[in-house]
Amino acid sequence: MLKTKTIKPAASGGLLDRRSFLLSGIALSSAYSLKALSASKAGEGRIDTDMPVWAKTPGHNDVEYGLPSEHEKHIKRIQAKNTPETSTFSMWHTPIENQRGIITPNGLHFSVNHNGIPEIDPQQHTLRIHGLVGRPLKFDMESLLRYPMVSAIHFLECAGNTAPNAVSLTALDQDCQELYGQISGAEWSGIPLKYLLKEAGIKPEAKWVIVEGADGGSHARSIPLEKLMDDAIVALYQNGERLRPSQGYPMRLLLPGWEGNTNVKWLTRLEVTDTPAYTKDESGLYSDILDSGEIQRFSFTMDVKSVITHPSGKQTLPDKKGFYEISGLAWSGHGKIKHVEVSADEGKTWAKAHLEGLVLSKSLTRFTIPWRWDGSATTLLSRATDEHGRVQPTRDQWRKKYASYSFNHYNGIQAWHINSDGRVENRYV
């Protein structure tokens, strides 16, 4: 029997105190599923009748490079179709609601490609450092692989992630992948860029570096030298294997916490300068238009943000009431997540969620909180705070700051409405 009386509430709307929930001696199967299977029927467990065929016959051999189970084929990236067929621009979204933990599998990492994915021969690829340096340098892959490397877990988020919630006047009925799919988390390994810049010898008047990729459109951004001497990595590995072509094979710039666009893929050239270049990639799409009409250039850092990934848009809760674990992701380009609050009553009361596993700087952070749904329509919200005290704004607060058609750097609080039939919908509150 489930001793529900010992479980303390954490806030109204059915949010539960995690400690008392876990201590209450719940048999998880009965708490979470009304259809719990019982294995104690007489005769059950006999080899001849009850064992499935795969437990009675030899399995098949393994393959050279493993793939997910056939039964998981529906978990895949989706292409955002907001560009003409003729365009070489492509954008693929991560199914973030199917991910657990904080690492996105390489095959599911989101990707944004302004001029397609170049097919680079690593033997012929080079990285040049020139401009305001004592001695210009040119590296090939072989020489770079000899440098000491570091590994760090970071999120990567496109500045345009969740843009529909910024610009659409009504909340579109979209799922987490559609609204939040331009973010992923990975362990990146490579060479701290400061090693290479120091070796080249930066001249005192240097302040910026123009960073360029080897793709067709010569994607380029101007980056303050300070960031590159801080935590920037020339990434060669992604989650333990060499970068995928869509992530910049054979090398990319990784700027922890900074807008996706500055993380130049297929990295080939670093020109040290004293002023920014105002390239097409930073002056057009990646300037923010404020409500005052002013243009904010070089807004690099991705702000504190969170989203409940389960339950989330277009999902349907299988039981009309009962126990669920609310789970989601929070991140901040400024540092670590300090806490995430969850509300199950449209923001009237809030409870602090549990931060699960690693809580790292500029990384996805997993949060969970147990919830007992009473079956009535309600709205779930999550609100993240980072270690610098930055708190996610409401959608209205965010929209007051930016022009009505401005869509980059949206980090408003997400609301998921739970209908009484269990269907979850995007909602503005």
Ligand X SMILES: Nc1nc2c(c(=O)[nH]1)N[C@H]1C(S)=C(S)[C@@H](COP(=O)(O)O)O[C@H]1N2
210 is a site residue for ligand X (CB under 6 A): no
- 89 close to 68: Cβ distance less than 8 angstroms: no
Give the residue among 203, 180, 4 at the shortest CA–CA distance from 93. 180
Q: Name the one range near ligand X by CB under 6 A: 65-73, 107-115, 133-141, 391-399.
A: 107-115
365 is a site residue for ligand X (CB under 6 A): no
User: Amino acid identity, residue 133?
Assistant: V
Q: Name the one range near ligand X by CB under 6 A: 72-80, 104-112, 311-319, 329-337.
A: 104-112
∠ CA 257-231-132, nearest 5°, is: 115
Q: Which of 247, 312, 332, 406 binds ligand X (CB under 6 A)?
A: 247
302 is a site residue for Mo ion (CB under 5 A): no
Residue 391 and residue 277: Cα distance in Å, rounded?
A: 33
Work out the number of other CB atoms within 10 angstroms of the CB of residue 283.
14
Give least dist CB 286 to Mo ion, A. 8
Q: Mark out the alpha helices in 170-260 (DSSP H runs).
A: 176-180, 193-200, 225-228
Task: Show the site string, 155-194: x = touches ligand X by CB under 6 A, - = not.
Answer: -x-x------------------------------------
- 418 close to 377: Cβ distance less than 8 angstroms: yes
Q: Name the one range near Mo ion by CB under 5 A: 133-141, 201-209, 257-265, 371-379.
A: 257-265
266 is a site residue for ligand X (CB under 6 A): yes
Q: Name the one range near ligand X by CB under 6 A: 7-15, 36-44, 258-266, 345-353.
A: 258-266
Burial class of 331 by CB neighbour count within 10 A (0 to 12, 13 to 18, 19+): buried
Residue 8 and residue 37: Cα distance in Å, rounded?
A: 27
Give least dist CB 212 to ligand X, A. 8
3-class SS of residue 240: coil
Q: Which of 18, 77, 93, 219 binds ligand X (CB under 6 A)?
A: 219
Sign of the torsion angle spanned by Cα atoms 401, 287, 185, 90: positive
213 is a site residue for ligand X (CB under 6 A): yes
331 is a site residue for ligand X (CB under 6 A): no
Give least dist CB 264 to ligand X, A. 5
Element (H, E) at 429: none
Work out the number of other CB atoms within 10 angstroms of the CB of residue 19.
12
99 is a site residue for ligand X (CB under 6 A): no
- Residue nearest Mo ion (C-beta atom): 158
Give least dist CB 285 to ligand X, A. 8
Q: Which of 248, 260, 328, 333 binds Mo ion (CB under 5 A)?
A: 260
| Residues at the contact surface with Mo ion, assessed by CB under 5 A | 112, 158, 260-261
